[in-house]
């Protein structure tokens, strides 16, 4: 009889737990539908951009579909581009639904990998934007607040900032400022940077720029997974396959627009064949995650016939790519770098060379090589080590294996 009672109690407990999970899933789904109905209005800016300083909030909105135990907001905020112009950028702010410590929560500013370069490809626009932040649950469980920029030109209309290091870095830092300006968020001034692929480049630029761009914030460390750190080799290595054609089609139009005041469209456009010139804007209008088949249909036939010469050795592209490669100025904070050794997009030897440069410059670097891991899986695979690294940094015990 006792055994039957225990079994019945266990069954009831399981049913209650499942019921709670179902109710939370229903709550989140209803919230996602409600969010989607109001997204168009939230992301629409009419007239001139209102005056504001970097990090000032243009508008924010509570996200009803936030994961259980959290509070979250969509936010539009002021930032600056590589020319110093005031721009509007969108993103997310997520915090544990617990009282913040007196000094405020340490903030992890997440920099996302490539999802595209068009406005419709912005991560915060998706039905479940939380799913695209690698390690979000673990970071929140550790007590961190998380902010996630979309980068300029994503979710909101405007010029693309794809692989424009200074603009992306500013957007990553200003997302923290914006989060701090949301009432009730409880964000402090201590910041950890975390990025994957394109986001690795953005996070590294944010670390380089933080001391002069956002001196009121204390960037304690930066962690990156398979970072797009060295653009000269990235585009040269990848241009031989569909991934390279896609990346170049996102990057070249963005860079041609950003450098229009420095170089003519003719001299920059000469890097592409006539077929490449025709295809690049078509691919740039497509999202990597939802229009992959359409991208392949355009990009596959262009392999071997997309560019006229190697951009890494052809001006003005050699200069443009060098300016947007990480390493132009010291980081001065502990660095964690993870690299999958089966990565065919960011070649391991390129990351090895970048890390060697950091070590030679006296930076404190923890470099983890991950055998058998691809580009897509490197951030999630490295996550336990990233969390350990962040915890060690906060204890002033950042590891380094440069030696």
Which has the higher per-residue pLDDT, 46 or 146? Answer: 146
Q: Name, in order, each residue with C-beta under 8 angstroms of 253's C-beta and a sequence gap of 6 or more.
A: 117, 160, 280, 281, 284
Which has the higher per-residue pLDDT, 26 or 57? Answer: 57
> What is the domain count for the chain?
2
d(CA 387, CA 142): 8
* Whether the predicted pLDDT of 24 surpasses 60: no
Does residue 219 share a domain with residue 339? yes
d(CA 309, CA 297): 23
* Whether the predicted pLDDT of 276 surpasses 50: yes
DSSP string, 165-198: HHHHHHHHHHHHHHHHTSTT--EEEEEEEEEETH
Q: What confidence score (pLDDT) does residue 240 get? A: 80
CA angle 194, 394, 348 (to 5 degrees): 35
* Whether the predicted pLDDT of 23 surpasses 50: no
Q: What confidence score (pLDDT) does residue 9 get? A: 53
Neighbour-count burial for 310-328, b at 16+ CB within 10 Å, e otherwise = ebbeeebbeebbebbbbbe
Does residue 77 share a domain with residue 222? yes
242, 316 contact by CB (below 8 A): no
Give the range of the structural domain holding residue 156, as residue numbers without chain letter: 57-230+325-394
* Whether the predicted pLDDT of 403 surpasses 50: yes
Nearest to 379 by CA among 350, 402, 345, 349: 345
Q: What confidence score (pLDDT) does residue 15 get? A: 66
d(CA 238, CA 157): 28
d(CA 121, CA 112): 12
Q: Which of 34-38, 104-108, 308-312, 384-388 has the lowest mean pLDDT?
A: 34-38
Does residue 179 share a domain with residue 213? yes
Per the domain annotation, does 7 fall within a domain?
A: no
Does residue 264 share a domain with residue 116? no
How do 70-80 and 57-62 pair as beta strands?
antiparallel
Percent of the chain with pLDDT over 70: 90
Q: What confidence score (pLDDT) does residue 5 get? A: 46
* Whether the predicted pLDDT of 1 surpasses 80: no
CATH number reported for the structural domain that contains residue 181 in this entry: 3.40.50.1820
Does residue 343 share a domain with residue 303? no
């Amino acid at each position: 009889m006792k055994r039957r009672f225990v079994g019945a109690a266990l069954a009831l407990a399981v049913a209650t737990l499942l019921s709670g999970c179902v109710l939370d899933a229903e709550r989140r789904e209803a919230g996602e539908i409600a969010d989607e109905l109001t997204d168009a209005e939230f992301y629409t800016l009419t007239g001139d951009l209102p005056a504001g300083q970097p990090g000032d909030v243009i508008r924010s909105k509570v996200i009803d579909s936030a994961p259980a135990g959290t509070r979250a907001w969509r936010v539009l905020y002021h930032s600056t581009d590589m020319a110093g112009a005031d721009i509007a950028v969108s993103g997310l702010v997520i915090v544990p639904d617990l009282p913040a410590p007196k000094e405020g929560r340490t903030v992890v500013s997440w920099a996302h990998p490539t999802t595209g370069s068009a406005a419709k490809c912005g991560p915060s626009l998706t039905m479940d934007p939380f799913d695209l932040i690698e390690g979000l649950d673990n970071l929140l469980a550790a007590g961190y607040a998380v902010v996630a920029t979309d980068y300029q030109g994503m979710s909101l209309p405007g010029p693309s900032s794809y692989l424009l290091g200074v603009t992306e870095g500013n957007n990553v830092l200003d997302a923290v400022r914006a989060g701090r300006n949301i009432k009730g968020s409880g964000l402090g001034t201590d910041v950890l940077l975390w990025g994957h692929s394109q986001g690795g480049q953005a996070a590294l630029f944010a670390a380089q720029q933080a001391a002069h761009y956002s001196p009121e914030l204390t960037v304690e460390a930066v962690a990156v997974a398979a970072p797009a750190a060295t653009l000269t080799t990235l585009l040269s290595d990848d241009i031989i396959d569909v991934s390279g054609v896609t990346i170049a089609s996102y990057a070249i139009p963005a860079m041609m627009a950003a450098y229009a005041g420095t170089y003519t469209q003719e001299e920059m456009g000469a890097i592409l064949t006539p077929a490449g010139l025709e295809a690049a804007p078509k691919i740039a209008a497509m999202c990597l995650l939802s229009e992959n088949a359409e991208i392949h249909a355009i990009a596959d036939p262009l392999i071997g016939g997309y560019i006229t010469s190697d951009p890494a050795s052809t001006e003005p592209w050699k200069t443009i790519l060098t300016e947007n490669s990480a390493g132009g100025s010291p980081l001065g904070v502990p660095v964690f770098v993870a690299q999958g050794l089966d990565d065919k997009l960011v070649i391991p030897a390129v990351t090895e060379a970048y890390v060697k440069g950091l070590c030679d410059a006296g930076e404190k670097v923890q470099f983890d090589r991950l055998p058998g891991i691809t580009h897509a899986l490197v951030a999630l695979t490295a996550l336990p080590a990233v969390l350990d690294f962040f915890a060690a940094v906060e204890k002033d015990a950042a590891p380094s294996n440069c030696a």
